[in-house]
Amino acid sequence: MMNPAVLIASIYVFALAAFLGYQVISRVPPLLHTPLMSATNAISGISLIGSLVLAGASHYPTSAHVLGFIAVTTATINVVGGFGITDRMLKMFGKRKTKPEQTEVAK
């Protein structure tokens, strides 16, 4: 189904994404490591789009649709829960970045 040229392009994408990921993520301060983990986790919930196809596309049998349904559910939990909790955490970090006497408050 997939021809070798596409496969090789995929490997390029993988290698470049790995390099980019290393560059970007090594700049994240330890302060934000928990939100980072929960954010990347939410982003990897992108496997949701694979699950959507499995759950509803024409070229799959009904049994695959059922598997897809479970996958859509868990991936959606991951995406919604992951982004939601990341936002909750980051809101806390933004809240009072300065000491009270320097009244500048981030919203």
Partner 1 sequence: MTASTYFMEATYLLASILFVFALKRMSHPDTARRGMFLAEGGMLAAIIGTLVGTHIVTWTWIIAGLSIGSIIGAWMAIWVPMTAMPQRTALSHAFGALAAALVGVGEFAVRSSEMHPITRGALGFEVMLGSLTTTGSLIAAGKLQGLIPGKPIQFKGQNIVNLLLFLSLATFFVIFLAHPEASEVFYTLLALAFIFGVMLVIPVGSADMPVVMSLLNSYAGLAAAATGFVLGNNVLIIAGTLDGFSGFILSVLMCKAMNRSITNVLFGGFGAVTAESTTSIGGVMREINLEDAAMQLAFASRVIFVPGYGLAIAQAQHAVRELAEMLEDRGVTVKYAIHPVAGRMPGHMNVLLAEADVPYSSLYEMEKINPEFPSTDVAVVIGANDVVNPDARDNPKSIIAGMPILEVDRAKSVIVLKRGQGRGFSGLDNPLFFKSCTAMLYGDAKSTLTHLAQAVQHV
Interface residues for partner 1 in 32-91 (CB under 8 A)?
A: 32-61, 63-91
Q: Does 14 engage in binding with partner 1 (CB under 8 A)?
A: yes
Q: Taking the complex as a whole, how short is the minimal distance between the CB of residue 5 and partner 1, in angstroms?
A: 11
Name the residue among 35, 49, 46, 54 with its Cα closest to residue 94.
35
Q: Does 105 engage in binding with partner 1 (CB under 8 A)?
A: no
Per-residue CA distances from 51 to 46, 48, 56, 80 (Å): 9, 5, 9, 15
d(CA 87, CA 25): 18
Q: Does 104 engage in binding with partner 1 (CB under 8 A)?
A: no
Give the interface size with partner 1 as a residue count (CB under 8 A): 90
Q: Taking the complex as a whole, how short is the minimal distance between the CB of residue 4 and partner 1, in angstroms?
A: 7
